[in-house]
Amino acid sequence: MSHSHDHTHDHGHDGAHAPHPALVVEDEAGNLEGQIIIDALQNILVRKNLLAPEEVTQEIEKIESPGVHLGAKIVARAWVDPAFKERLLANGKSAAAELGIKVGEAQLIVVENTEALHNLICCTLCSCYPRSILGQPPSWYISKAYRARAVREPRAILGEFGLDLPNDIELIVHDSNADMRYLVLPQRPAGTEGMSEAQLAELVTRDCMIGVAKVAPPAQGAS
Amino acid sequence: MKARFQAGDRVRVLHLGKTGHIRTPFYVRGRTGTVTELCGYFLNPEELAVGNTAGPVVPLYRVSFPQTELWPDYQGPAHDALSIEIYDHWLAAG
């Protein structure tokens, strides 16, 4: 993980603006300032026998092992099992637990897309995201542009993702600013009637569960 | 602390002028919406952020605002809405 830091820190910024520091500061070699500080701290803790490198690796694995496949599994089950879907919409956390999926957040609110309603998830204040079932958020999700515009001009955002939402469809933006985390239950696409639950899960993408996309029908010729 | 509001109640978000780890974004302050759900009772993040984990827990509500209430120049249709969680002390009866 560690790398050498033989650079100097003369952050000129670009001009005299900058009333507050940039969110992410990188030097020419691509080193993140925060990473440099963390590496230094980790080296000290390891040298003083307060931390073993394996413990760091284990924590990273714990953070990075959840992924989109967990959310997709939940969605696919909801598509094939209406009773499960009802329980999921009533209590996301306990329904996920039925599938052996542990939701680490306080509560999981599952919002269902229908013919008349579309849901979009964002976090304007930081990067709240259902990490225990979708993994780490994509970089655009934590960008200031998405965070600001998702609440201000959500339909323009959707358009940029290639989703032109007709005006007769109601759009609800969920700003996950506090203790709840949100998951969009996308619509099951047409042409999937004969598919198994596992095949359905493969259709479900991260973007569909954030609400910036719809689930694409299976490619022609796919079984 | 007992929940003061229930689903269907009209509420207004206050300007509390607090600093620190505030979870009520500026764009909803002073706006009027409708409680859609009592989410439960949670430790106040403003207190948690400064190491006060003793509580008490406070009610947390999900509140829905018409987008046109938040943004007078909103470009989309009138039925579009924004849903957000607000802790009890940030709300007054609307």
Hey, which residues of A are catalytic here? 123, 126-128
Tell whether ipTM is more than 0.90: yes
Whether the pLDDT of residue A18 is over 60: the answer is no
pLDDT in tens, B42-91: 999 999 999 999 989 999 999 999 999 999 999 999 999 999 999 999 99
Q: Which of A18, A46, A64 is the last residue of a domain?
A: A64
Indicate yes or no: CB of B39 within 8 angstroms of CB of A179: yes
Quote the minimal CA–CA distance from B13 to chain A in Å. Answer: 14
The set of residues, in sequence order, having a beta carbon less than 8 Å from that of A183 and lying 6+ positions away, is: A71, A74, A92, A108, A109, A110, A111, A121, A130, A133, A134, A209
Number of domains composing chain A:
2
> Which residue in B71, B75, B80 is closest to A170 by CB distance?
B80
Residue B25 touches chain A, beta carbons under 8 Å: yes
For chain B, the farthest-separated pair of C-alpha atoms sits apart, in whole angstroms, at 45
Whether the pLDDT of residue A16 is over 60: the answer is no
Whether A14 maps to a domain, the answer reads no
Domains, chain B, with CATH or none: 10-93 (2.30.30.50)
Q: Are residues A76 and A37 in the same domain?
A: no
Q: Are residues A75 and A182 in the same domain?
A: yes
Q: Are residues A56 and A90 in the same domain?
A: no
Q: In CATH, what number is assigned to the domain containing residue A102?
A: 3.90.330.10
Q: Give the alpha-carbon dihedral of A151, A88, B57, A132, to 10 degrees.
A: -70
Indicate yes or no: CB of B80 within 8 angstroms of CB of A174: no
Please list every residue in chain A whose beta carbon sits closer than 8 Å to the beta carbon of residue B71: 152
Q: Are residues A110 and A37 in the same domain?
A: no
Q: Which domain holds residue A52?
A: 33-64
Q: Are residues A113 and A92 in the same domain?
A: yes
Whether the pLDDT of residue A23 is over 70: the answer is no
Q: Give the alpha-carbon dihedral of A43, A45, A48, A52, to 10 degrees.
A: -90
pLDDT in tens, A106-125: 899 999 999 999 999 999 99
Give the whole-number percent of chain B exceeding pLDDT 70.
100
Q: Are residues A75 and A47 in the same domain?
A: no
pLDDT band at A47 (very low <50, low <70, confident <90, very high): very high
Instruction: Name the average pLDDT for chain B.
Output: 96
Whether A16 maps to a domain, the answer reads no
Residue B64 touches chain A, beta carbons under 8 Å: yes
Give the whole-number percent of chain B exceeding pLDDT 90.
93
pLDDT band at A13 (very low <50, low <70, confident <90, very high): very low
Does the predicted model carry a pTM greater than 0.95?
A: no
Whether A12 maps to a domain, the answer reads no
Please list every residue in chain A whose beta carbon sits closer than 8 Å to the beta carbon of residue B27: 124, 151-152
Residue A44 touches chain B, beta carbons under 8 Å: no
Whether A216 maps to a domain, the answer reads no
Q: Are residues A57 and A152 in the same domain?
A: no
Q: Across residues A38-49, what is the average pLDDT?
A: 93
Residue A172 touches chain B, beta carbons under 8 Å: yes
Whether A149 maps to a domain, the answer reads yes
Whether A7 maps to a domain, the answer reads no
Quote the minimal CA–CA distance from A56 to chain B in Å. Answer: 24
Q: Are residues A87 and A194 in the same domain?
A: yes
Query: What distance lies between CA B32 and its chain's CA centroid?
Result: 10
Whether the pLDDT of residue A26 is over 80: the answer is no
Q: Are residues A74 and A43 in the same domain?
A: no
> Which residue in B27, B76, B82 is closest to A167 by CB distance?
B76
Please list every residue in chain B whose beta carbon sits closer than 8 Å to the beta carbon of residue A152: 27, 71
Residue A170 touches chain B, beta carbons under 8 Å: yes
Q: Which amino acid is at B9?
A: D
pLDDT in tens, A126-173: 999 999 999 999 999 999 999 999 999 999 999 999 999 999 999 999
Other beta carbons less than 10 A from residue A158's beta carbon? 21
Residue among B34, B8, B28 at smallest CA distance from B70: B28
